């Protein structure tokens, strides 16, 4: 494919006009600095997605976009099942429903100062983290199937959390249509001992302080005020999600041609939504989403147990839980007509605006909490979905900072031990079992998250509500 040519169509919006096999334009949301930093491979991936059958409106990239497997990370695309639209395993990725959940503690930094190291050590000891980490929960095949169908609701039934938690999770804690029988035995074996674990890479558990608020009305509606301490968990569906991706991507790539799909990149592995393999993948992928929701629910309970030992009166109430790597059927307005579309968000966050029937009553007048993760030493943000986002990019926003450097390049530039020392000077405690992992996830290996959030807000994709600073980070 020839080098894409960008045309600025708004202060924070850039377009690639259709050329070659593209069915729709490519649209990238960014400011001048971010757009200059987006490499040619990422733009080519935006164009490749635009060439898939049944795509609606455009192939979108959020301000944190960077190159991914097939789809760009930060990519959003909607497909119409009635117009030959596809489901793409590459458009969901391997870490199915990797996401962020944040909850209140009712505490301030002053409350934890005298026990800060003890709290960090307790979280590090009781929250399994790292490559191949296992927990204390060992599920039988039948129990796994129940978990894959029930998600966070299953975890609550087993004593991990409360029914109140479910009100503040997308889909009420589990997605319908999961089909555990379409998840391979190997995927289930990989997950048997991994429930309630953080995993590795960019996954983390952070204690964060609300450093600033930008919209007092929404901040109050979300229960946030300056100085509050929050807990955020970033992780996904662990080995099970990865194995679902491995199993189906291979099969989708081999079957694409029989449906007349000319894949511009084999990593875009896709089949029609209404095909047998498409239905099987949807059933397995939804099981992966439920696995991630159950996993974050169990981790929430483990965190509560740690806090209960040190702060017996603390109440850790859910703010919200959002998933990133998903494909979900949603109703959207296309040229004045409401249509059921399959929305792929890969490294992107759902961002429903005020009035959405999918929001809990508490947030209905404010829009969906959009949780933007930082990277150990950098800020995280809480935004709110906007009504504009529906027309801009099917109610979607960024999900984090987005990498600016590969993991290999990061390990050549930084030492994990030095990162720990540098962050300690800023009074941020880092706990990790892997110094190499810390180097791979060095804060400066990511884009400037504040610039990404500014571009997201200025583009109208979401509204800034609060800025969070890390105090303690248990790194996966």
Q: How many C-beta neighbours within 10 Å does residue 414 have?
A: 20
344 is catalytic: no
- Which residue among the candidates 203, 242, 344, 399 is catalytic per the annotation? 399
Contact 342, 273 (CB under 8 A): yes
Q: Is 30 helix (H, G, I), strand (E, B) or coil?
A: coil
Residue found under tokens 């395993």: 89
What residues have CB less than 8 Å from 301, skipping those under 6 apart?
Answer: 155, 159, 160, 161
Residue found under tokens 């809990």: 360
Contact 458, 12 (CB under 8 A): yes
Contact 191, 364 (CB under 8 A): no
Spatial distance between the Cα atoms of 60 and 326, rounded to a whole number of angstroms: 15
Contact 26, 246 (CB under 8 A): no
Spatial distance between the Cα atoms of 21 and 240, rounded to a whole number of angstroms: 34
Residue found under tokens 């965190």: 303
Residue from 104, 134, 137, 334 nearest 210 by CA = 104
Residue from 330, 263, 254 nearest 52 by CA = 263
Residue 157 per-residue DSSP state: H
Strands (E), 214-325: 228-235, 270-272, 318-323
Residue found under tokens 């935006």: 46
Burial class (CB in 10 A: 0-12, 13-18, 19+), 413: exposed
Contact 349, 342 (CB under 8 A): no
Contact 293, 114 (CB under 8 A): no
Pairing of strands 86-88, 26-29: unpaired
Give phi and psi for 147, each to the nearest 5: -65, -40
Catalytic residues: 399
């Amino acid at each position: 494919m020839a080098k894409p040519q960008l045309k600025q169509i708004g202060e924070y919006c850039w377009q690639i006009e259709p050329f070659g096999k593209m069915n729709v334009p490519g649209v990238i949301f960014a400011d001048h600095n971010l757009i200059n930093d987006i490499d040619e491979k990422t733009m080519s991936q935006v164009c490749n997605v635009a060439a898939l059958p049944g795509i609606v409106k455009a192939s979108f990239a959020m301000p944190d976009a960077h190159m991914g497997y097939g789809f760009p990370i930060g990519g959003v695309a909607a497909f119409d099942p009635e117009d030959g639209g596809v489901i793409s395993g590459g458009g969901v990725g391997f870490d199915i429903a990797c996401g962020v959940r944040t909850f209140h503690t009712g505490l301030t930094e002053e409350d934890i100062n005298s026990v800060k190291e003890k709290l960090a050590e307790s979280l590090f000891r009781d929250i399994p983290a790292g490559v191949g980490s296992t927990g204390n929960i060992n599920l039988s095949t039948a129990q796994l199937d129940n978990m894959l169908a029930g998600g966070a609701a299953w975890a609550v039934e087993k004593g991990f959390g409360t029914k109140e938690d479910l009100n503040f999770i997308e889909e009420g804690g589990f997605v319908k249509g999961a089909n555990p029988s379409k998840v391979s035995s190997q995927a289930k074996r990989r997950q048997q001992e991994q429930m309630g674990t953080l995993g590795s890479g960019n996954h983390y558990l952070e204690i964060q302080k609300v450093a600033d608020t930008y919209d007092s009305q929404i901040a109050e509606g979300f229960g946030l005020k300056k100085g509050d301490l929050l807990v955020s968990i970033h992780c996904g569906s662990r080995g099970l999600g990865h194995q679902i991706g491995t199993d189906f991507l291979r099969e989708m790539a081999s079957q694409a041609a029989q449906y007349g799909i000319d894949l511009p990149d084999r990593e875009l592995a896709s089949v029609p939504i209404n095909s047998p393999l498409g239905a099987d993948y949807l059933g397995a992928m939804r099981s992966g989403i439920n696995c991630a929701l159950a996993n974050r629910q169990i981790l929430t309970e483990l965190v509560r147990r740690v806090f209960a030992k040190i702060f017996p009166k603390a109440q850790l109430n859910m703010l919200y839980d959002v998933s990133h790597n998903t494909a979900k059927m949603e109703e959207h307005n296309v040229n004045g007509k409401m249509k059921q579309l399959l929305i792929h968000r890969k490294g992107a966050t759902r961002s429903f605006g005020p009035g959405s029937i999918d929001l809990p009553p508490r947030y209905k007048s404010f829009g969906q909490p959009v949780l933007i993760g930082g990277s150990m030493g950098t800020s995280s943000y809480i935004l709110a979905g906007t009504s504009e986002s529906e027309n801009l990019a099917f109610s979607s926003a960024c999900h984090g900072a987005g990498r600016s450097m590969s993991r290999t390049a990061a390990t050549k530039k930084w030492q994990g031990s030095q990162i720990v020392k540098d962050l300690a000077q800023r009074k941020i405690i880092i706990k990790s079992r892997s110094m190499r992992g810390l180097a791979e996830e060095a804060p400066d290996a990511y884009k400037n998250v504040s610039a990404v959030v500014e571009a997201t807000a200025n583009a109208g994709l979401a509204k800034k509500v609060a800025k969070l600073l890390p105090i303690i980070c248990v790194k996966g």
